[in-house]
Structure 1
Amino acid sequence: MNTEDIKAILNRIASKQHTEDDITLLEQALVGYNCQIASQLGKYNVNIGEGKDIHIGDRIYNQWDKEAVEALVKAIQEASGIHQNTQGGDAAARDIDKRNIYENCTFIQLLAKDSNLGNLSQEPLKDLDFSDIPQESIRQAYRDALPPDASVWNLEGNNITQILQELNEFRRLFEFFNCLSQDESLPEEIRNKLSNTAKNIVSKKHPDENTNKSSADFFSDKEGLLESYLIATLERCDDDNEQFLLNAWLIIDDSVQVNDLSKFTSLLDKDEQQQGTLCKFNDIPKQLNKFLKTSLRHLRGKQYQLIVEVFLPSDLIGTEVDRWKIYDPIVEEITLGIKYPIRLRSLERLDLEYLDSYLSDWYKYWNKVKTVLHNEPIQELFAHLEEMETFNWKSLRSSLKEKIGLKVTCAPPKAKTKELFKAILTATTPIAIWTRCDIPNFDHVAAIDEILTFKPLCHLCESVRLTREKADAQTEEHLGFHLALLWEDPHRLTPNVMLELKTPGQ
């Protein structure tokens, strides 16, 4: 018998048209070899997975034998609505009738007719054993995943099939599996499976977005780590150059890019979250240190790689963010940029009028970045600015066309920084690397080229961090003290801006 023959028998069982020969043949096929079958029976999907410890209802069978096959027949017929009352009869039938009969879904997956999980049921869901997950954990993830106004009062919290169907109707399956994967009371192996299921759901629903995974930036060799981001914005208060407004958010895991605002956790106190926190320029490092401490509390007990992204106005883009000091429990104070990769971002790119005019081109250039992320940076794809005496921003903008990045091997004068970034912003160039200071008798071109080609492009921010770490270990002048990196991913903006970019009704 082949798989199609078995599927035909299953369909006859579902419609109660099978014969004794069908049952005999099915038993022989299941006993004879380990098989794996996914079949559409009426409006339900039924998966028969290979292996031992076969789960049917509340019963576990150690092998395919007559009793297990009879239980399978009853389960299929129950799933297809053939038997509405199975309280009489043998133990298998009584097991089938229990209200939480499908609490364990490793063996039979029941999914709604119009479910977009049809294809997924064969792969990511087949290895999930919900019986190993406490009901309270399932109910909590269920409540957290549903929209706040969802009408769910009549659902039974221990019916996993009904939960999956309800979540699917609300298009909240990803949120459910994502929430469940972050439940620290569950074993790590189960959490990893749940996390992979969430990623598979997104990749099935948004195949194009799957190529936008931020893991391509930096995490390709960091398997198992959460892709965490501390995102901060620094804005001047109106008519007051002394006061600045800070906002900050944590993304605990950005491994799957999905336009979901729930991935942002505000790092401000509740009474500040609407506007931000006010401070003077010299107090900004202390505030960032506070945001960092709050982020680390959220990440406590997790494995992660944390990147700090700071949005600055163009005229402040030369701020030595990487040189700011942060608290350390052992040495009390360390330099931010040697502990965490730092990415500078342009505050102007969060302006809605800018996005209306330039976002489409920005996406185009970022897509080009993604095609070469795992390659050694191609020098032709980086425009080179090595002197500022004859600098003209329009000329630079023209030279940035079809380039993914800019390398500046001379320190831009403060008076020309704004014009430099006018070229970068209008060209929508995603990456720029430059030195903030000219070191005498030092070959800046060779040094920056070495950083660019040291590892594939996706590791550039880590290469910059390593350069800063080397500088921190010595006292003489070093490029690592002055190196700055701009890295502009248009798919990772602040939540207020992402909300504006959402299509009405999403």
Structure 2
Amino acid sequence: MIPDNQVPLTDSHRYQPISNISTQYQKKYFCKEEIPGLVNEFVKHSNKYLNNLIETKNNLTFILTIEIFLPSKQLISTESEVGRWIIRYRSNDFPLVTRHSIFVRSSERQTPDYRDECLNEWRNNWDRVKKLLDNASDIEVFEHLKQLDDDEWSGIVKNFSALGQTQNIKIGFMISCLIPESKQEDLFNALDNAAVPIALWTRYDTTNLDHSDRIRRIDDLLKSCPLRYLPKYIHEQQSRNYTTGKKI
């Protein structure tokens, strides 16, 4: 979202989707190795901009949340793990996730065609989630994908909207198997095309865990807090573990 500084802070029309005004900006291309440095500069400029914006407002503070858009095939890859990108803060280096909340999304969602075709479906599917936001959840409200080594899983994802019409309404997918690199891009494209609000999977190699243990860990995560606060809880866990070099 891009702010229009001529519109008051309290006006809901102050921010526009970047896809609506992208023609005003010239695209620039960078190597993957350059991106962490660019993010570091973005954080500096954003902090300066926000501090100046609230300078005349007494007792106001801000929380900088960063959205990163990546191609689908890079969303699972630990090689492009955004949380570990290093930023400079007061002469010290920190993993990005220890200083800011981060949301990583697929860049395919930025295309105008995707918005036109999927926006209404996204709203319908998120309506299911809103009914459960203030409840601690469990795996029963997620459709379970146990394997991705056949063609059945893609058909199940494509029919996600139909799962909202059943007696046991599903709000997303739980993927308890390891996701082969060859299937990663196909999986994310399928989730995007079906407008799936929530998908859960293990990000790291968990071959040392049996299948039931992976399911138990996801279930424990869901029961840890109301669904509304799950992203914040995961961010806090990641921040705590990244400072010690652990992975979750």
* TM-score calculated relative to the size of structure 2: 0.76
Q: Is the 8 A contact 1:310 1:345 kept in 2?
A: yes
SS at match of 2:244: coil
Q: Cα offset for 1:378? A: 4.5
Q: Is the 8 A contact 2:134 2:226 kept in 1?
A: yes
> Does 2:176 match 1:409?
yes
Q: Residues of 2 paired with 1:449 and 1:338: CA distance?
A: 25
> Does 2:55 match 1:304?
no
Instruction: Show the counterpart of 2:228.
Output: 458
Q: Is the 8 A contact 1:324 1:335 kept in 2?
A: yes
Distance 1:265 1:385, change over 3 A: closer
Q: Is the 8 A contact 2:70 2:106 kept in 1?
A: yes
Instruction: Show the counterpart of 2:150.
Output: 390
Q: Residues of 2 paired with 1:333 and 1:264: CA distance?
A: 33
Q: Is the 8 A contact 2:148 2:179 kept in 1?
A: yes
* Match for residue 317 of structure 1 among 52, 69, 75: 75
Residue identity opposite 2:201 in structure 1: W
Instruction: Show the counterpart of 1:274.
Output: 25
* Match for residue 352 of structure 1 among 98, 106, 112: 112
Instruction: Show the counterpart of 1:429.
Output: 196
Instruction: Show the counterpart of 2:34.
Output: 283
Q: Residues of 2 paired with 1:291 and 1:419: CA distance?
A: 31
TM-align CA RMSD:
2.8
Distance 1:413 1:265, change over 3 A: closer
Distance 1:359 1:265, change over 3 A: closer
Residue identity opposite 1:293 in structure 2: K
Q: Residues of 2 paired with 1:265 and 1:288: CA distance?
A: 20
Q: Residues of 2 paired with 1:407 and 1:292: CA distance?
A: 33
Q: Cα offset for 1:473? A: 4.2
Instruction: Specify which structure has the bigger relative contact order, considering alpha-carbon pairs within 8 angstroms and separated by 6 or more residues.
Output: 2
* Match for residue 185 of structure 2 among 412, 418, 421: 418
Q: Is the 8 A contact 2:157 2:190 kept in 1?
A: yes
SS at match of 1:412: coil
> Does 2:208 match 1:438?
no
Larger Rg belongs to:
1
Residue identity opposite 1:263 in structure 2: Y
Q: Residues of 1 paired with 2:160 and 2:118: CA distance?
A: 17
Instruction: Show the counterpart of 2:15.
Output: 263
The within-5 A match list for 1:27-176 is 144-145=6-7, 175=8
Q: Residues of 1 paired with 2:94 and 2:17: CA distance?
A: 25
Instruction: Show the counterpart of 1:367.
Output: 127
Q: Residues of 2 paired with 1:389 and 1:333: CA distance?
A: 41
> Does 2:95 match 1:335?
yes
* Match for residue 136 of structure 2 among 368, 376, 383: 376
Deviations 1:103-140 (A, max 9, x none): xxxxxxxxxxxxxxxxxxxxxxxxxxxxxxxxxxxxxx
Q: Cα offset for 1:423? A: 2.0
* Structure 2 unaligned residues grouped into runs of 5+: 19-23, 165-169
Q: Residues of 2 paired with 1:454 and 1:344: CA distance?
A: 22
Q: Is the 8 A contact 2:160 2:196 kept in 1?
A: no
* Match for residue 447 of structure 1 among 193, 217, 221: 217
Residue identity opposite 2:200 in structure 1: I
Distance 1:312 1:144, change over 3 A: closer
SS at match of 1:278: coil
Residue identity opposite 1:408 in structure 2: I
Q: Is the 8 A contact 2:147 2:177 kept in 1?
A: yes
Q: Residues of 1 paired with 2:100 and 2:138: CA distance?
A: 26
Residue identity opposite 2:63 in structure 1: Q
Residue identity opposite 1:292 in structure 2: V
Distance 1:373 1:334, change over 3 A: same
* Structure 1 unaligned residues grouped into runs of 5+: 1-142, 146-174, 179-197, 203-257, 267-272, 480-506
